[in-house]
């Protein structure tokens, strides 16, 4: 919980949305106030020129120019914020696309099941050994041999699966760039 009792934002997107609302309101308010003060200074400079008061005219023009520079900098900041937001949105969409492509890759179901089967056969051989002792040598040796063979086939299949998957995504990444 935040210090003020409200729940903090859960994701960077929610934080950026909150900042976007504040930024939009604040920048527009500040820009309109700066514009109003700048217009008043330009008006004061015009009136001072009519009175031939060059000191007041120069001072008003100087401050109006300063406010114009602040106004222009706020425009650049607002445009920078928009481009940063667009880049973040683009990167987020790219990451989502990559995750969907990876999730779309078919699972190595047979190799996974063979792995479970192999461990089950080894465990079954252990149970046979525990129950029959030395008299069940052929049974538990056969179960262990079948379990080890199944595990080796499974591990080889999983290794090939991972290599194919890595190759596919490397090619895909090279095509996207």
pLDDT tens digits for 100-140?
A: 777 777 777 788 888 899 999 999 888 888 888 888 888 88
**Averaged over 29-33, what is the pLDDT?**
79
Per-residue pLDDT for 172 more than 60? Answer: yes
Comparing CA positions, the residue from 2, 12, 69, 1 lying closest to residue 38 is 69
Per-residue pLDDT for 86 more than 80? Answer: no
**Averaged over 84-112, what is the pLDDT?**
76
What's the whole-model pTM score? Answer: 0.41
Q: How many residues does the chain have?
A: 177
Give the pLDDT of residue 176: 63
Percent of the chain predicted with pLDDT > 70: 84
Give the pLDDT of residue 87: 77
Higher-confidence position of 45 and 17: 45
Distance from C-alpha of 146 to C-alpha of 127, rounded to nearest angstrom: 15
Distance from C-alpha of 163 to C-alpha of 105, rounded to nearest angstrom: 13
């Amino acid at each position: 919980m935040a210090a003020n009792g409200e729940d903090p934002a859960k994701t960077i997107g929610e934080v950026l949305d909150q900042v976007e609302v504040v930024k939009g309101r604040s920048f527009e308010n500040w820009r309109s106030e700066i514009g109003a003060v700048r217009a008043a200074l330009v008006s004061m400079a015009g009136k001072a020129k009519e009175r031939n008061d060059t000191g007041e005219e120069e001072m008003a023009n100087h401050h109006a120019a300063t406010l114009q520079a602040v106004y222009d900098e706020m425009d650049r900041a607002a445009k920078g914020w928009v481009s940063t937001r667009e880049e973040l949105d683009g990167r987020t969409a790219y990451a989502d696309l990559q995750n969907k492509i990876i999730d779309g890759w078919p699972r190595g179901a047979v190799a996974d099941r063979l792995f479970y089967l192999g461990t089950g056969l080894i465990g079954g051989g252990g149970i046979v050994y525990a129950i029959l002792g030395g008299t069940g040598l052929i049974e538990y040796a056969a179960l262990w041999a079948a379990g080890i063979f199944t595990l080796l086939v499974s591990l080889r299949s999983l290794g090939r699966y991972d290599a194919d998957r890595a190759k596919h995504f490397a090619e895909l990444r090279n095509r996207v760039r």
